[in-house]
């Protein structure tokens, strides 16, 4: 694997840290700015909104630029957003800075995935994407706890300054390690990128991401009350258990990359099926503390086995111009975050018990399997049409000389 993938992983580590660290820093931010926790929670939503808007917008705006320059520019925007977050004097400035921090998120992963696959042989594409995503999963194990610890001892502003430093390191890595804009890392232009989004299989692939990762976030958004109310853990133990989720996600991400290089379709459907099984078993697994810890780890593994296959599925369906579609897939991940949390909340509010969001998530994963199956069925029918036409033409050609002789 080329060393350039390390530069992408460093950028992913910084992005993953700033995205999830706000959850741990929320009480400190709320106390410092004299906000209620629900009001401070809008800072999480502002970042997610930035991701959803920025992913397709920035990918389209930079369609004619060298992808190496795009990645460096996106990390520059990331550094600016986090530095402004650290300097924000009040809630409104911090909301704007968090939105700015989220803008480059989706485009970085989208363009980065295209660059990663261009640097390796075709049989290693999934593995290259998984190595870039490794920075994101490791951020949940090391980056987020470190940022939370810094925030608690030195203040939340110091945590965001620290994330800015990670961004600067990522810029230096991208500058030194990403090749000097070879032809295969250039985009085909805005028109070609937009044309890719007119394909039904591309939208079905994006729908698979929304449903599949919506299943994860339906359960993960309410994992703390599951662990305390159903499994009987003390609140102080939840942070350690969430680190187990990060370990599982890292293992699943690496495993998914290796398996998808052998069979993209098999890994995708197998990963979604395993996610259905894990989520459906949550009511049983949450009955004891040891099995609850296992459930959290398995949830991370099953969900992130599908990460690289989902990204490659979208890029495969938009093979002529993958940058915009690949970036849109990151927006789909964040829509899954919001939608999954909403559906899990409905199940919880309906009074079906603390583990009801996981069961709802299992249903969403089944929907994901159906949408993915439809995407491949549409592709198969489109491939079959030219073959049928060719057979019809082939059967008619021999008749023409006979007719001419008559």
Over residues 24-34, the pLDDT tens digits come to 787 788 888 88
**357 in the same domain as 308:** yes
**144 in the same domain as 60:** yes
Q: Residue 392 sits in a domain of what CATH number?
A: 1.20.1250.20
Categorise residue 212: left if φ over 0, alpha if ψ from -120 to 50, beta otherwise: alpha
**172 in the same domain as 73:** yes
> Does residue 112 fall inside a structural domain?
yes
Cα three-residue angle 324-309-284, rounded to 5 degrees: 125
**161 in the same domain as 60:** yes
As a three-state string, the secondary structure of the chain is CCCHHHHHHHHHHHHHHHHHHHHHHHHHHHHHHCCCHHHHCHHHHHHHHHHHHHHHHHHHHCCCCEHHHHHHHHHHHHHHHHHHHHHCCCHHHHHHHHHHHHHHHHHHHHHHHHHHHHCCCHHHHHHHHHHHHHHHHHHHHHHHHHHHHHHHHHCHHHHHHHHHHHHHHHHHHHHHHCCCCCHHHECCCHHHHHHHCCCHHHHHHHHHHHHHHHHHHHHHCCHHHHHHHHCCCCHHHHHHHHHHHHHHHHHHHHHHHHHHHHCHHHHHHHHHHHHHHHHHCHHHHCCCHHHHHHHHHHHHHHHHHCHHHHHHHHHHHCCCCHHHHHHHHHHHHHHHHHHHHHHHHHHHHCCCCCCHHHHHHHHHHHHHHHHHHHHHHHHHHHHHHHHHHHHHHHHHCCHHHHHHHC
**199 in the same domain as 139:** no
d(CA 97, CA 253): 30
- Residue at a domain's end among 187, 215, 245: 187
**119 in the same domain as 209:** no
The confidence score (pLDDT) of residue 386 equals 55
> Does residue 405 fall inside a structural domain?
no
The mean per-residue pLDDT over the stretch 304-314 comes to 89
Query: Which of 7-21, 101-115, 346-360, 391-405 shows the lowest mean pLDDT across its residues?
Result: 391-405
Categorise residue 199: left if φ over 0, alpha if ψ from -120 to 50, beta otherwise: beta
pLDDT-derived band at 182, boundaries 50, 70, 90: very low
The confidence score (pLDDT) of residue 94 equals 92
The answer on pLDDT for 208 being more than 70 is yes
**206 in the same domain as 179:** no
Query: Which of 2-11, 104-113, 270-279, 391-400 shows the lowest mean pLDDT across its residues?
Result: 391-400
**245 in the same domain as 166:** no
pLDDT-derived band at 285, boundaries 50, 70, 90: very high
**201 in the same domain as 99:** no
| Burial grade of 82 (CB within 10 A; 0-12, 13-18, 19 or more) | buried
d(CA 274, CA 366): 10
The mean per-residue pLDDT over the stretch 375-389 comes to 68
The confidence score (pLDDT) of residue 405 equals 47
- Residue at a domain's end among 187, 220, 245: 187
**133 in the same domain as 7:** yes
**235 in the same domain as 170:** no
**195 in the same domain as 167:** no
| Burial grade of 349 (CB within 10 A; 0-12, 13-18, 19 or more) | exposed
Q: Containing domain of residue 159, as a range?
A: 1-187
Query: Which of 184-193, 218-227, 276-285, 319-328 shows the lowest mean pLDDT across its residues?
Result: 184-193
pTM of the model: 0.80
pLDDT-derived band at 327, boundaries 50, 70, 90: confident
Number of domains observed in the structure of the chain: 2
- Residue at a domain's end among 187, 222, 250: 187
Selected residue with higher pLDDT from 23 and 45: 45
């Amino acid at each position: 694997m080329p060393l350039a993938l390390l530069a992408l992983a460093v950028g992913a580590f910084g992005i993953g840290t700033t995205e999830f660290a706000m959850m741990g820093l929320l009480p400190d931010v709320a106390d410092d700015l004299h906000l209620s926790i629900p009001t401070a929670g809008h800072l999480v939503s502002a970042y997610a909104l930035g991701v959803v808007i920025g992913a397709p917008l920035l990918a389209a705006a930079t369609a004619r630029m060298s992808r190496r320059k795009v990645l460096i520019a996106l990390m520059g925007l990331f550094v600016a957003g986090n530095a402004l977050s650290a300097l924000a004097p009040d809630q409104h400035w911090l909301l704007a800075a968090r939105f700015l921090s989220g803008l480059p998120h989706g485009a970085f992963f989208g363009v980065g995935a295209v660059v990663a696959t261009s640097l390796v042989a075709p049989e290693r594409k999934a593995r290259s994407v998984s190595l870039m995503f490794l920075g994101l999963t490791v951020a949940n194990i090391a980056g987020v706890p470190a940022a939370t610890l810094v925030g608690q001892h030195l203040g939340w502003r110091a945590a965001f300054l620290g994330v800015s430093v990670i961004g600067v390191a990522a810029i230096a890595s991208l500058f030194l390690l990403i090749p000097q804009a070879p032809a295969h890392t250039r985009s085909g232009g805005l028109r070609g990128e937009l044309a890719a989004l007119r394909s039904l299989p591309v939208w079905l692939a994006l729908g698979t991401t929304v449903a599949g990762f919506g299943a994860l976030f339906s359960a993960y958004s309410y994992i703390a009350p599951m662990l305390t109310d159903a499994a009987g853990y003390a609140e102080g133990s939840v942070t350690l258990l969430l680190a187990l989720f990060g370990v599982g996600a890292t293992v699943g991400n690496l495993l998914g990359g290796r398996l998808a290089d052998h069979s993209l379709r098999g890994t995708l459907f197998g990963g979604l099926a395993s996610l259905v099984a894990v989520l459906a078993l949550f009511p049983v697994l949450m009955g004891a503390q040891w099995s609850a810890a296992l459930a959290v780890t398995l949830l991370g593994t099953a969900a992130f086995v599908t990460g690289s296959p989902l990204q490659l599925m979208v890029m495969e369906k938009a093979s002529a111009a993958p940058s915009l579609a690949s970036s849109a897939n990151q927006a789909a991940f964040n829509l899954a975050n919001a939608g999954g949390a909403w559906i899990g909340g409905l199940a919880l509010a309906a009074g079906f018990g603390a583990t009801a969001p996981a069961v709802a998530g299992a249903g969403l994963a089944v929907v994901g399997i159906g949408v993915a199956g439809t995407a491949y069925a549409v592709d198969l029918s489109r491939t079959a049409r030219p073959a049928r036409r060719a057979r019809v033409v082939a059967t008619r050609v021999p008749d023409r000389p006979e007719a001419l002789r008559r």
